[in-house]
Chains A and B, each alone.
Chain A
Amino acid sequence: MRLRSTLTVSFRALRRNVLRSLLTALGIIVGVGAVIAMVSIGNGAKSVVEAQIASLGENVLLVFSGSFNQGGARSGAFGAGTLTVEDAEAIKREVTTVIGVSPEVRSSAQILANGLNWSTQILGEGADYLTIRVWPLSDGVMFSEADVRSVGKVCVIGQTIATQLFPDGSAVGQVLRIKAQPFKVVGVLAAKGLSVQGQDQDDLVIVPYTSAMRRVSKQTMLRSISVQASSPDTMTLAQNDIVALLRQRHRTAEGSDDFTVRSQVEIAQAATATADTMTGLLGAVAGVSLIVGGIGIMNIMLVSVTERTREIGIRLAVGAHGREIQLQFLTESIVLSVLGGTIGILAGIGASELVSHLKGWPTLVSPTAVVVAFFFSAAVGMIFGYYPARKASLLDPIDALRYE
């Protein structure tokens, strides 16, 4: 079998009917383009979610105080502060795979500075908090462990607070008042933007948890504890150890825990599952159009075989083998579909660029989708080209030559 001659013959045949070749390939172009664009959009959405999850920090485990049962009345999640500062200290002390712990309390308050005021969320955190969350400062420093121990009147503020309360110049070194108590601003956080839920993550003030508990909200229990494991591999181990430790400390049995330990991985999985489903759905719908494109190719190839019966007769008469005729038509359909696939990939990338440009949606072209779409389109050409090619190869030369 001389591949080069067959390719020559196929290309000549396609070149003879450029418009029809392009129209035939159009089905594949649209199909592949749609797959690429849809998957890009789906992936873009997923990447946003993933970025949000990553913003939780590195190897983070979150211990939430859970519901508790008192005389048959059950509280909701976070309902009771069941976690204590001692719990947090115990975790830090006894779980060896943990490298950072930050107890957390939350409350909201009206804060004042420069004659301006603003209602915001006050987070009480440990000194490790920013390290755990991998949240850099744009200015100043984080309060220290000493500030935590001394119930210091220091705070770190988000970008929104900085613009709202300190519109002119640097906020670091300035003083703001929370519940009439002065707190010195030691650092300004880098901007983080909106969360997946649409909340402004920069609208907050972080103070040492000790200060939050005693000076701001008079809470005695923790809302949650952020824990950082030493590496991704030790997360499961750390999680199990924390659960065991807290059960021991709280004297609870499995099933009646008054706390919940969630790993970042679990949260990420839950959040990306939706995005994955979305991508899958979009891809499947686009995939259907690829099949339709394939049927289009088959249709045109069948028409082409009938229309070119005499040509096939001539080729057989001058010595073509049935296999060569088959290969010619198969090559034609594969060339059409691969050509369509290539143009479709470019069109899909273009379309996703356009979407992100016009709609402002984030898109992410998936190399896997590109490769899969390319080979899938080649496979479509092969599968849907096979029957017409086979039909052509089985023609009898005498009948084919006489065909009108």
Chain B
Amino acid sequence: MSAVVKLEDIHRIYDSGEVKVHAVRGVSLELHKGEFMAVMGASGSGKSTLMNTLGCLDRPTSGRYLLDGVDIAGLDRNELADLRNEKLGFVFQGFNLLSRTTALENVELPMLYGRRRISHRDMQERAEHCLEIVGLAARADHFPSQLSGGQQQRVAIARALVNNPQVLLADEPTGNLDSKTAVEVMGVFQKLNEQGITIVMVTHELDIAHYCRRNLIMRDGKVVSDVQVTDRLSADDELRKLHAAEAAAKLTA
């Protein structure tokens, strides 16, 4: 099976006048369809830069990046935007939903910028379908301020899914959530991954990384460890345990 993402000796040097920061120093990796990878590392390890590169938000200083067989080196700003629109889905730490805009309209957003014409009705149907996948169909007309953190992040995931991306990129998706909600969100990711969606997420929480299939650890701009997760956690099991523990706590209290 050919790789969805292929990085070959990627370097990224930030040149801010006198100081040159070598954020990524030669990363090569392949990501196949259906993978679920966690990128970990201390701050300054280059994981954010790597994510920006994977997300076609930034171009590597040197090295080759093939996304779904397309070399991004020759693409201009607009072509990169189109690539992001068609092949990538983004989930951010801070949810980044448009305030005073309903969940449904937030999910519709990427379709508004798609190169293909989609009728208003189709747009709405697809957005509703994606909200259903993340279990928020009933909250379609709620505003972000009326939703909990976990619900907001699920809206963001629905938004990332709406254009059927090749890869879902999540930048610390559980960073702003409490542990139980974080497990719920991981449950959504696991379910999507089981349906064949490729996911890359940045996290610095080791237990969250355990819900993924593959763990990549970076230090000083290099990959220092790239392993398959053996003792993978299931979000469903963990949630069940949490519920049981809560129930027990109430019983004994």
A residues less than 8 Å from B78 (CB atoms): 321-323
A residues less than 8 Å from B99 (CB atoms): 16
Stretch at the interface among A4-12, A136-144, A173-181, A217-225: A4-12
Cβ of A133 under 8 Å from chain B:
no
Q: For the complex, give the distance between the alpha carbons of A319 and B85 in Å.
A: 4
- The B40-59 residues at the A interface (CB cut-off 8 A) are 52, 55, 57-58
Give per-residue flags for A273-315: 1 if the beta carbon is below 8 A from chain B beta carbons, else 0: 0000000000000000000000000000000000000110111
B residues less than 8 Å from A314 (CB atoms): 96, 98, 109
Contact (Cβ within 8 A) A398 B100: no
Q: Known: A318-B159, A321-B78, A398-B52. Is A311-B98 also a contact (CB below 8 A)? A: yes
Cβ of A320 under 8 Å from chain B:
yes
* Interface residues in A, total, Cβ within 8 A: 24
Q: For the complex, give the distance between the alpha carbons of A89 and B92 in Å.
A: 99
Cβ of B36 under 8 Å from chain A:
no
Contact (Cβ within 8 A) B98 A319: no
Q: Closest residue to B162 on the A side, CB-wise?
A: A318
- The A8-23 residues at the B interface (CB cut-off 8 A) are 8-9, 12, 16-17
Q: For the complex, give the distance between the alpha carbons of A313 and B52 in Å.
A: 13
Contact (Cβ within 8 A) A12 B101: yes
B residues less than 8 Å from A323 (CB atoms): 78
Contact (Cβ within 8 A) A397 B112: no
Q: For the complex, give the distance between the alpha carbons of A12 and B102 in Å.
A: 10
Q: Which of A313, A319, A397, A398 is B113 in contact with, Cβ under 8 Å?
A: A319
- The B78-104 residues at the A interface (CB cut-off 8 A) are 78, 81-82, 84-86, 90, 92, 96, 98-101
Distance between B54 CB and nearest chain A CB, rounded to angstroms:
13
A residues less than 8 Å from B90 (CB atoms): 317-318
Contact (Cβ within 8 A) B57 A398: yes
Q: Which DSSP category, helix, strand, loop or mixed, fits chain A's interface? A: helix
Cβ of B110 under 8 Å from chain A:
yes
Contact (Cβ within 8 A) A398 B58: yes
Q: For the complex, give the distance between the alpha carbons of A2 and B120 in Å.
A: 13
- The A317-336 residues at the B interface (CB cut-off 8 A) are 317-324
A residues less than 8 Å from B82 (CB atoms): 319
Distance between B207 CB and nearest chain A CB, rounded to angstroms:
26
Q: For the complex, give the distance between the alpha carbons of A320 and B112 in Å.
A: 8
Q: Known: A316-B81, A320-B81. Is A401-B92 also a contact (CB below 8 A)? A: yes
Residue among B82, B84, B86, B98 having the largest count of chain A Cβ atoms under 10 Å: B98
Distance between B15 CB and nearest chain A CB, rounded to angstroms:
15
B residues less than 8 Å from A319 (CB atoms): 81-82, 84-86, 110, 113-114
Q: Known: A16-B101, A317-B90. Is A401-B81 also a contact (CB below 8 A)? A: no
Q: For the complex, give the distance between the alpha carbons of A151 and B205 in Å.
A: 120
Q: Known: A5-B113, A16-B100, A315-B109. Is A322-B77 also a contact (CB below 8 A)? A: yes
B residues less than 8 Å from A316 (CB atoms): 81
Q: For the complex, give the distance between the alpha carbons of A324 and B58 in Å.
A: 20
- The A200-250 residues at the B interface (CB cut-off 8 A) are none
Q: For the complex, give the distance between the alpha carbons of A145 and B55 in Å.
A: 100
Distance between B24 CB and nearest chain A CB, rounded to angstroms:
14
Contact (Cβ within 8 A) B117 A2: yes
Q: Closest residue to A17 on the B side, CB-wise?
A: B100
Q: For the complex, give the distance between the alpha carbons of A318 and B151 in Å.
A: 20
A residues less than 8 Å from B105 (CB atoms): 12
Q: For the complex, give the distance between the alpha carbons of A271 and B77 in Å.
A: 63
Q: Known: A2-B117, A12-B105, A318-B159. Is A401-B84 also a contact (CB below 8 A)? A: no
Contact (Cβ within 8 A) A320 B113: yes
Give per-residue flags for A11-46: 1 if the beta carbon is below 8 A from chain B beta carbons, else 0: 010001100000000000000000000000000000
Distance between A11 CB and nearest chain B CB, rounded to angstroms:
11
Contact (Cβ within 8 A) A5 B112: yes
B residues less than 8 Å from A317 (CB atoms): 55, 57, 84, 90
Contact (Cβ within 8 A) B110 A397: no
Contact (Cβ within 8 A) B92 A318: no
Q: Closest residue to A15 on the B side, CB-wise?
A: B100
A residues less than 8 Å from B86 (CB atoms): 319
Q: For the complex, give the distance between the alpha carbons of A313 and B97 in Å.
A: 11
Q: For the complex, give the distance between the alpha carbons of A397 and B92 in Å.
A: 13
A residues less than 8 Å from B117 (CB atoms): 2
- The B15-70 residues at the A interface (CB cut-off 8 A) are 52, 55, 57-58
B residues less than 8 Å from A320 (CB atoms): 81, 113
Distance between A65 CB and nearest chain B CB, rounded to angstroms:
80
Q: For the complex, give the distance between the alpha carbons of A319 and B112 in Å.
A: 9
27 A-B residue pairings within 8 Å (CB atoms):
A2-B112, A5-B112, A5-B113, A9-B112, A12-B101, A12-B105, A16-B101, A310-B96, A311-B98, A313-B96, A314-B96, A314-B98, A316-B81, A317-B90, A318-B84, A318-B85, A318-B90, A318-B109, A318-B110, A319-B85, A320-B113, A321-B77, A321-B78, A397-B57, A398-B52, A398-B57, A401-B96
Given contacts A5-B112, A16-B101, 17 further A-B contacts (CB under 8 A): A2-B112, A5-B113, A8-B112, A12-B105, A16-B99, A310-B96, A314-B96, A314-B109, A317-B57, A317-B84, A318-B84, A318-B90, A318-B110, A318-B159, A319-B110, A322-B77, A398-B57
Q: Which residues of B contact A (CB under 8 A)?
A: 52, 55, 57-58, 77-78, 81-82, 84-86, 90, 92, 96, 98-101, 105, 109-110, 112-114, 117, 159
Task: State the 9 A-B residue pairs at the shortest beta-carbon distance, nearest first.
Answer: A319-B85, A16-B100, A318-B110, A319-B113, A5-B112, A320-B113, A321-B78, A319-B81, A319-B84
